[in-house]
Amino acid sequence: MIVRWETNHDYVLVHIHQDMFGDWIFSRAWGQIGTQFGGLKHQLADTLEQAHMWLEDETTIQSSRGFRKVLEVADHTPEGQEAMRQLSLLDVL
């Protein structure tokens, strides 16, 4: 699952996925739109339910900060693949 929030200048993107060992990973990327400023953090969740709880928390936080949800898709969709490509670019910076 991939979820993205934006303001006029900033974005936050969350990706919940399983790694090759079956562990659930909660990845969060943030930054300024159109720049390379930002960051990326990965957290290991004990369960998928815990990762979803973190996503609910993130939704509340971003809403309170004035961010609007602009994307919520599965990994395998074309939109999800494009978001994954953008997220993978952050890993090498």
State residue 44's pLDDT score: 97
For the cut 80, the answer to whether the pLDDT of residue 19 exceeds it is: yes
Distance set, CA 19 to CA 38, 50, 56, 64 (Å): 24, 16, 21, 31
Distance CA 93, CA 91 (A): 6
Determine what percent of the chain falls in helix, strand and coil, rounding each to the nearest 5: 35, 40, 25
pLDDT of residue 36: 83
What is residue 88's predicted lDDT score, i.e. its pLDDT?
Answer: 60
Query: What 3-state class would DSSP assign to 88?
Result: helix
Q: pTM score, two decimals?
A: 0.84
Domains and CATH numbers, the chain: 1-89 (2.20.140)
- pLDDT, tens only, 28-86: 999 999 888 899 999 999 999 999 999 999 999 999 999 999 999 988 888 888 877 76
Residue 5 has pLDDT above 50, yes or no: yes
